[in-house]
Amino acid sequence: MDLAATDPDSVLDTLDRRLVCALQLDGRAEPGRLAEVLGVSARTVTRRLGRMRQTGVLRVVRLPDVEDDAVGALLLRVRVLGGTVDAVARALADRPDVPFVDILLGGQEIGAVMLTDAGSRDRLLYGQLPATSAVTETTAHAVLHAFADASQWQAGYLTGSEIAALARPRPPRPAVRPPVDDLDRALLDRLGEDARQSHAALAAATGAPESTVRRRLNRLDGLGLLRAHVTVDPRLLGMAVDANLWLDVPPGRLAEVGEALAGHPQVHGVFATSGPTNLLATLFCPDHPALYRFLTDTLGPLGVTRAETTITARAVKRAGVLLRDRP
């Protein structure tokens, strides 16, 4: 199925959307568990998920450790010459340390998230990007605190009781995270490609006994390293507008406003940042009037003094997954 040739609203029906929402809560939930909570047969769940995954509409991957790496991670805004945006966006997306890349409306700016060490960061910012004739300006905002990230967003097609049945409590962060070994890293890498792989498939891929794989995954889950991300075109969930809000908030209210926005159902990311603005909120809206209402009805009462709004024209890479072109 080619999404570019398909009316997005016709691809996923209500049950498909409910299944996507269920996986947003527990990306590795078994079909029987999903069927029990959603009130359908396990066969229907297996068939629906198989269709969405086979056609490329849906992918479930392990989310890169954005929360752990948040402090010091970079939010890049790269302005380019007309006609070069695809090439520069793809070059950024080809980097393993850049899990998110968007082309912004207008076609001359790229937004990206970079998780890397200081050496790679400096080579990109002070060497590779300035040496690229297509790049006219680069702004880097350092993340100071993460209030919410992509793993916490819910599309809103489940009831409160269904959410409660599927939601997995986030384990407490250990004061010192134990080191991972080669098998742990191999399992995490495999789940970064497909978080719904079975224990048997992971055992076959890594050469470890299935019992060992189960035990290791339980341990990694307890360390908070198995957060799943559902990669799906938000338009298929009724969200036609993907916006970034660069906000100026009084420092004394930064935590209050960040936490309030993190709990809003349309918001899928909130970060305190360095730079001329001090808070970034990313959100999905059904349409432009809904975005306007968010600006007036939600931001207004929070005391935000200034808001710059950018709209994503095309997502190139999300949670480490390269996406097909969207119309």
Query: Do residues 219 and 312 lie in contact, with contact meaning Cβ atoms separated by under 8 Å?
Result: no
Q: Is the pLDDT of residue 3 over 60?
A: no
pTM of the model: 0.82
State how many domains the chain has: 1
pLDDT for the residue 321? 84
CATH code of the domain covering residue 214: 1.10.10.10
Q: Residue 131 domain-assigned?
A: no
DSSP code string of 80-93: E-TT-HHHHHHHHH
Per the domain annotation, does 188 fall within a domain?
yes
Following CA atoms 61, 319, 103, 137 in sequence, which dihedral angle do they give, to the nearest 10 degrees? -160
Question: What residues contact 136, with CB distance under 8 A and at least 6 apart?
Answer: 79, 80, 81
Is residue 2's pLDDT more than 50? no
Q: Measured on CA atoms in the order 162, 56, 103, 273, is the torsion positive or negative?
A: positive
The confidence score (pLDDT) of residue 4 equals 36
Residue 12 lies in a domain: no
| Tens-digit pLDDT profile for residues 34-67 | 999 999 999 999 999 999 999 888 999 987 664 4
Per-residue confidence (pLDDT) for residue 173, from 0 to 100 = 67
**Domain membership flag for residue 24:** no
pLDDT, mean of residues 116-126: 85
CA nearest neighbour of 129 among 96, 95, 103: 95
Look at residue 9 in the predicted model and tell me its pLDDT: 43
How far apart (Å, rounded) are the C-alpha atoms in residues 326 and 318?
13
What is the domain range of residue 203?
171-220
Could you read off the pLDDT of 287-303 as tens digits, one per residue? Answer: 999 999 999 999 999 99
Element (H, E) at 267: strand 267-273
Higher pLDDT among residues 212 and 96, named by residue: 212
Q: What is the pLDDT of residue 21?
A: 94
- Average confidence (pLDDT) over 110-134: 89
Q: Is the pLDDT of residue 19 over 90?
A: yes
For the record, the structure tokens of 54 come out as 């086979």
Instruction: For residue 305, give the DSSP letter.
Output: -
What band does 117 get if pLDDT is binned at 50, 70 and 90? confident
pLDDT value, residue 63: 78
pLDDT value, residue 11: 66
Q: Is residue 105 part of a domain?
A: no
- Residue 226, pLDDT score: 86
Query: What is the predicted pLDDT for the residue at 188?
Result: 93
Whether pLDDT at 230 is above 50 = yes
pLDDT of residue 71: 66
For the chain, the distance separating the N- and C-terminal CA atoms, rounded to the nearest angstrom, is 14
In a domain, 251, yes or no: no
Q: Whole-angstrom Cα distance, residue 112 to residue 234?
A: 18
In a domain, 96, yes or no: no
Residue 178: its pLDDT value, please?
81
* pLDDT for the residue numbered 323: 83
pLDDT digits (tens, 9 = 90+) for 69-90: 566 789 999 999 989 999 999 9
pLDDT at 64: 65
Contacts 24+ apart (CB under 8 A), 127-133: 129/78, 132/88, 133/81
Whole-number mean pLDDT of the chain? 89
Model confidence pLDDT, tens digit, residues 181-209: 999 999 999 998 899 999 999 999 999 99
pLDDT of residue 327: 43
DSSP assignment string, 119-176: HHHHHIIIIIHHH-TTEEEEEEEEEEEEEE-GGG---S-S-HHHHHHH--PPPPPPSS
Alpha-carbon dihedral angle through residues 185, 186, 188, 191, given to the nearest 10 degrees: 170
CB 154 within 8 A of CB 267: no
CA–CA separation, 239 and 285 (whole Å)? 5
Task: Please check whether residue 57 lies inside any domain of the structure.
Answer: no
The percent of residues above 90 in pLDDT, for the chain, comes to 67
